[in-house]
């Protein structure tokens, strides 16, 4: 019974190695795998196993048989899997080569068709550009350049960019100076061979520098003027508008200083002081209220220099 059981296991081993060997071999057609599978089947098959035992004296019973089975199974799996991986990698590489060849062939076909139709395409784009249909012309360039890049299409695209930029200078006098300079700089970049663009850039750049200098000088002048205005304003009463030091001087010379009443004060900045005219009321020696007007000159600090009726 025990002998029958081991024979049965042997034939099961043969079937296992045959099945896995077939599955590995059908993808790889590996000679090494074939011989590993054949050796495993010979070791497992009872007649051939007995023959090996008789001729070599190897112990292929019990534990020895189990060790041989495991070792051969691992060897078959290692050879089969490694060979399958190699076949898969080769297949993927071949697929990539085939895809690249197909893509190159398709591009060559597209290029040939484009070259055949190129004169008509270029003429159509140039006509749209000359008619001012710049957006439509660019759309045609993008459509054909996406599939078949071409230097003539690039030249047309450049000419359209120049036309678009020049359109922004159609009413040049109405374009702000800085924007005008930026547009001419762009044109000079797009067409470095143009002396007109380079000349306009030089002229506008010099004009911008001159304008900037004038603006800076005006800013300084206004800033200084505001500072002087604030300095002069401090010499007057904020509520009545009277010149403080002139008012004090007038009160000092009056018979009845308490009767002084300010009416109106005007002034003119002379650059080195002010000319001030003040109208006021006050009581005279007879005790009557009279209105008087005086003209005075004061320095930048508000000190009264002269007073004239």
197-250 residue pLDDT tens: 999 999 989 988 898 888 787 777 766 778 888 888 888 998 999 999 999 888
First-to-last C-alpha distance (Å) of the chain: 154
| DSSP 8-state secondary structure symbol assigned to residue 267 | E
Residue 224, domain extent: 168-233
Place of tokens 């190897």: 58
- 62 token code pair: 């019990």
What's the pTM? 0.46
For residue 123, is it within any domain? no
CB 278 within 8 A of CB 243: yes
88 & 37 share domain: yes
| 110 in any annotated domain | no
pLDDT digits (tens, 9 = 90+) for 105-140: 888 888 888 788 888 888 888 888 888 888 898 888
Model confidence pLDDT, tens digit, residues 13-49:
667 766 776 766 666 666 676 777 777 777 777 677 6
Same domain? For 249 and 229 the reply is no
Chosen domain end from 71, 97, 123: 97
Residue listed under structure tokens 């085939």: 98
- Domain end position, chosen among 97, 124, 152: 97
| Domain count across the chain | 3
Q: How far apart are CA 75 and CA 24, in angstroms?
A: 12
Where residue 272 sits, what CATH number does that domain have? Answer: 3.30.360
Long-range contacts of the stretch 276-280 (C-beta < 8 A, 24+): 276/243, 276/246, 278/242, 278/243, 278/246, 278/247, 278/250, 280/247, 280/250
Question: Could you tell me if 262 and 274 lie in one domain?
Answer: yes
Among 216, 233, 250, residue at a domain's last position:
233
pLDDT of residue 64: 63
Flag whether 186 is in a domain. Answer: yes
């Amino acid at each position: 019974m025990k002998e029958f059981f081991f024979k049965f296991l042997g034939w099961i081993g043969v079937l296992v190695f045959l099945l896995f060997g077939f599955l590995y071999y059908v993808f790889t057609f590996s000679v090494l795998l074939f011989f590993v599978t054949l050796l495993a089947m010979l070791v497992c098959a009872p007649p051939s196993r007995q023959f090996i035992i008789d001729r070599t004296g190897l112990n292929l019973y019990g534990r020895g048989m189990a060790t041989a089975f495991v070792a051969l199974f691992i060897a078959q799996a290692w050879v089969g899997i490694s060979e399958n991986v190699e076949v898969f990698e080769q297949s993927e590489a071949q697929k990539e080569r085939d895809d690249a060849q197909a893509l190159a062939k398709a591009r060559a076909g597209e290029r040939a068709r484009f070259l055949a139709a190129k004169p008509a395409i270029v003429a159509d784009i140039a006509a749209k550009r000359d008619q001012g249909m710049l957006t439509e012309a660019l759309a045609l360039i993008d459509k054909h350049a996406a599939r078949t890049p071409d230097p003539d299409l690039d030249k047309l695209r450049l000419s359209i960019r120049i036309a678009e930029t020049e359109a922004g200078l159609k009413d040049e006098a109405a374009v702000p100076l800085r924007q005008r300079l930026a547009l001419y700089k762009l044109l000079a970049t797009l067409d470095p061979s143009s002396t007109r663009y380079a000349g306009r850039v030089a002229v506008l750049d010099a004009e911008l520098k001159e304008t900037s200098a004038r603006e800076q000088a005006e800013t300084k002048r206004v800033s200084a003027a505001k500072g002087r205005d604030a300095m002069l304003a401090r010499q007057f009463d904020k509520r009545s508008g009277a010149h403080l030091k002139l008012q004090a001087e007038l009160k000092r010379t009056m018979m009845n200083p308490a009767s002084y009443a300010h009416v109106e004060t005007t002034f003119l900045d002379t650059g080195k002081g002010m000319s001030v005219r003040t109208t006021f009321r006050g009581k005279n020696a007879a005790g009557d209220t009279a209105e008087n007007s005086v003209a005075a000159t004061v320095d930048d600090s508000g000190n009264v220099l002269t007073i004239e009726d």
